[in-house]
Amino acid sequence: MMRSVGNVFEQYVKLNQKIPLEAVAASANILEPQRYADTIASYMVFQTQEKQELLETFNPADRLNKLLGILKSEMEFLKIEKRSMEECVSKWSAARKNFI
């Protein structure tokens, strides 16, 4: 489970340019599942309610599974945001080109 979370977190970091790539390396050295989940979650920005639920999940496997779900959800959001931004830039460039 830790490997799955680590792989998805690495993809998340590549999409979210606000998180340094060193975060992946730093978290990879953690062997304790709960601490691993907490460390990865600390780099992420998500709802306070979700953070609280994650902290209240004591079973390490459940906590990692919950974090994996949050990571996947946040990645989808980032992909949509990126696609939307690319469309806006494309439309703006086309409008600018037509104006000139």
Predicted TM-score (pTM) of the model is 0.78
Specify the CATH number for the domain of residue 38. Answer: 1.20.58.1480
In the chain, how many domains are there?
A: 1
Residue with tokens 């037509």: 98
Model confidence at 100: pLDDT above 70: no
Among candidate residues 30, 28, 24, 8, the one with its CA nearest the CA of residue 79: 8
State the residue range of the domain holding 61: 2-99
8 Å CB contact between 60 and 37:
yes
| pLDDT tens-digit series, residues 43-80 | 988 888 888 899 899 999 999 999 999 999 999 988 88
Cβ atoms within 10 Å, residue 67: 25
pLDDT of amino acid 94: 72
